[in-house]
A and B are shown apart, each in its own frame.
Chain A
Amino acid sequence: MTSTAANVLVPTTEPGRPRLAARGVVKRFGSTTALAGVDVDLGEEESLAVMGPSGSGKSTLLHVLAGILTPDAGTVTLRGRHVEGMSERERSLLRRGRFGFVFQHGQLLSELTALENVALAAMLDGEPRVQAEGLAAQWLGRLGLAGEQDRRPGEMSGGQAQRVAVARALVTRPDVVFADEPTGSLDQATGQDVMRVLVESTRAVGASLVVVTHDTGVASWCDRVVHVRDGLVVTA
């Protein structure tokens, strides 16, 4: 894979150190405290479910861990490298190259085909188009979408679109995949199928996984579950 700034930002694995760690993270929105001093670790190739009621701060935690939001206090480290101290550009590069994302819906670009949506992530990470489309085709094949690669998101079912999103998140072989309510728009059976694909594929590339959900069925796919309430991790 072509070298990018994101590739050189982060040191390699060290035994015993969590891949991703948050310490004393505080995040406020005006007078509302969304996170009130959160500590959480994510191990190598570990999958972690973050559960909690609406307004508990679980999505804010995901955004802080992923470098989308910067904490008002506390630290977030990826393999020892402080994420919260990075510039906006560095965090963008980190998200593009080292992290993968699966949101509830709507993250695929509507004018691109499934293949192009997945390939775009690899192209943005420096792959030439031909190689990027080759990788994308491999991923779509692995996720059971070999015959769907020329279809657009609007022409696919919700489950198929989420599988494309999973392929897009994994095509750059990220360190961590963040999934925010990845089955929130799907029926029970399709949701379980998407979770199986997400967990198995993430494990297959050696990535760690953070899943934000309110669904115990979804959380049961993960190695570990933490509960967030009133901006604090209450069980681990």
Chain B
Amino acid sequence: MNPVLSLAPRLQRAAGRDGRVTTALAVLAFAVTTALTTSVLAATLAFAERAEHPTTPFERDAGDTYVLLAVIATVLLVVPLLTLGGAAARLGVARRHERLAALRLLGATPREVLGLTVLETAGQGLVGAVLGSLLYGALLPVWTSVPFQERTFSAAELWVGPRVLGLVWLAVPLLAAVSGAGSLRQVVVPPLGVARRVRPPALRAARVVGAVVAFLAFVVVSTVREAFAAAAAGVLVGMLAVAFAAVNAVGPWLLALLGRRAVRRARTPAQLLAARRLLDDPRAVWRVVGGLALASFVAGVLAVVPALAQGPQDDPVVRDVLTGALLTLGIAFLLAAASAGIAQAASVLDRRRELSLARLAGVPVELFDAVRRREVLVPVLVASVGSAGLGLALMLPLFGFAVGAAPQGLVLLVASLAVGTGLVLAATESARPLLRRVLATPVVRAD
């Protein structure tokens, strides 16, 4: 075996407690990604199976609609799932950069450095995929308790089988390796290329123009959807996809705009630091909350569903659409919480020297806590409440009066957003003990 690559297990052991925390977080993130991806895939396959082999007239008539809705939910969750997987692969990137830059200085080739990273992240991905599969199995009783099409799924219906699991065990390490390799560009090119934080390029306002055009198109197509006759459903789904793309394009730009405004208006150290961190890399912040934005947008749109149905309590499709929307929103919140928690932990580990030196100079630890809460809360609120409000606003011109008459969907939406936001904030608090441990460890030698 190549002598540099054979160092991988030893380097992993030598990384110490920080290294073990980073590895554990990465494995946890891959496990959560695997468990939820497999669960969502299982539900889609189960709906397809029911559509192919219906046991009731209702399943026969509405089967294809459910498959379409399940596919939409899966597509909605692809971005946050990939985000969490990518975040796991980039965990501890500064520490890894330092270690690999040192290896480059010792003469390791770019290919060997790349190989080490691929080995490390793929290994974490594989362990995470296996643990995630176990978690998927453990979650089956939860999913089998949720009724769809007037009956719950059986565990057998939601079991994806060894072939799909095998594919997952192959795909997760592969994606992990690709993400990990992608994070290495700065270190592979120059041996001294330890990541230096510089001013990120500004986001262009053209994103907003594109987004506005997309939303206008969505509103127009929604209003005149009858004109498309049989293709109306397909056109609407297509336009919804355009609207998602628009939300994704405008999200980072909006966060940067908010960040700039917050920097100007900051009065306290916590406000200034949180605003600067938001402005520092709005794309990275959006990666954490982007999936949440899309799910919240859909939840906002679907909040009008009870208002559209005649006798909403008795309509199984309305009930199932709401259940599905809430499940999708719930999973999106879980993923956002995991992404935010991991991003915060990674930030503490990557910035350990600057945080510790600031602490030595008398900066209170409470300031770092306040900054952490602020830097998560604002993007989460913008993504969830902003997108849900946008989705709702798009529907209100069409169904506004009906929503007033049947506000159940609206109440559920508000409650879900409140619980989900609390969940994300709670997840970021997991960085609190890590921060204290990092600050308690001396960063300057005691000679």
Contact = CB atoms under 8 A, between A and B. Distances in A.
Contact of A63 (B199, B364, B446): B446
B358 interface: yes
A97 interface: yes
Nearest to B274: A111
Contacts of B272: 112, 116, 120, 123, 129
B41 to A, nearest CB: 38
Interface string B359-372: 01111100100000
Interface string A67-80: 01100000000000
A153 interface: yes
A124 interface: yes
B254 to A, nearest CB: 19
The dominant DSSP class at the A interface is: mixed
Contacts of B277: 111
B120 interface: no
A59 B447 CA distance: 6
B7 interface: no
A202 to B, nearest CB: 16
B131 to A, nearest CB: 34
Most buried by B among A52, A55, A121, A124: A124
A95 B198 contact: no
A69 B351 CA distance: 22
A106 interface: yes
B198 to A, nearest CB: 5
A92 B266 contact: no
Q: How large is the interface on A (under 10, 10 to 19, 20 to 34, 35 or more residues)?
A: 35 or more
Interface in A75-112: 92-97, 99-101, 103-104, 106-112
Q: How large is the interface on B (under 10, 10 to 19, 20 to 34, 35 or more residues)?
A: 20 to 34
Contacts of A54: 447
B199 A109 contact: no
A103 B357 contact: yes
A153 B354 CA distance: 12
A108 B197 contact: no
A67 to B, nearest CB: 9
B385 interface: no
Given A55-B447, A103-B444, A124-B363, 17 more contacts: A29-B446, A63-B444, A93-B362, A95-B361, A95-B362, A96-B362, A99-B362, A101-B360, A106-B353, A106-B357, A109-B273, A110-B351, A112-B273, A116-B272, A124-B269, A129-B266, A180-B444
B268 interface: yes
A109 B267 contact: no
A193 interface: no
A217 interface: no
A180 B362 CA distance: 16
